Structure 1
């Protein structure tokens, strides 16, 4: 195994650890098969003492070793530092992009337009309302409109987030509710969005067990920048349809 042009990392083919810079020209067998000193000693002392490539017995007399020139060591170290710096910069850039991203949650339904008297967690979980579509994990009522969800000027500023146990149930709820009319108001339903937890972005454990933000990368097709989100949610919304009223069969 030799160091090819432009290649800075040289790994031992046996233990897969990087070979020390000073051992880059250490070849214990005339066949040229290159391994690290640790594996060489381990084979000699604890195994059969044969070269893994040509099966020739290892011998101290056959070891080829040339010291690495100081300028080459400096070049390799500089290249490694540069690669590490570039990797960190790429990681930081990726984290900044994630901090501005919003991810569509396929099991989260966001509803606008419900009258205040219906904006109750327990009521909306019931079988007369969204509970009829499937198991609900959580209902959150937000009295202010969601800044990233398309809204109609005439709908009340009561937004409701409903988290279903299954994505399919969330889809059924959106299909049934979006575009329906209640008390003369159009109800809008779409997939909700969330962002990444700040602790996740800092590679730290989140101390809040009830945190609602993401702690792992979302699916790439469902991740969008803030300015993309309005048009994306419009595409996600299933074609609106108008119903005569909200009741147990169509809410």
Structure 2
């Protein structure tokens, strides 16, 4: 109930009035049954704008820190994210990637809509970064269609006030069916191929420049060296598909 209260009473009307998000391709979302919404990740507000455009409830995998705070602030934060349909994932443990995938599989097997960010973290510079293959495994093991999603933010100046607010567009692409790969879950080459196809569709929808390295790797190097994202990317080579390729696609990073 709290999810629908936030969507239709507390947050939804305000967000729609202030930002007036544009929605394209919402008819591509299945009316019933499991579906994976695979989106680019530009802002912490992505998870607000995308679900507001849909009739169906969207469940996201969120970092566990949102659910472990103490005191009044921790209680309110925990209540908000739990009520908003977020599922906690501990990204610090050695089994974080596997736990995230198992949680996603459970959600999909319940016939729900799962929202994930294949990049695994927010883009460090607005470009689209290499996707992690957890999305492919979940699609293969459940048979759920994958709907590519693009969040697009454009600057706009408010009349009279003169202040700038982003013009938000949410674009849903045609569902991707990977039934041709049935029975091949766990094949890392197949999962990489599927993930790259998904990222290509997101790139097409968003018109972002694609970078074939992991966003988390770029962020880590930026923090360590103080370099810009472009400087880091220029020194990196496309990574091999290793165990870290399946790190959890979470709410934010």
| TM-score of the alignment, normalized to the shorter chain, above 0.5 | no
* TM-score, length-scaled by structure 1: 0.22
Q: TM-score, normalised by structure 2?
A: 0.22
- Which of the pair is proportionally richer in helix? 2
Structure of larger gyration radius: 1
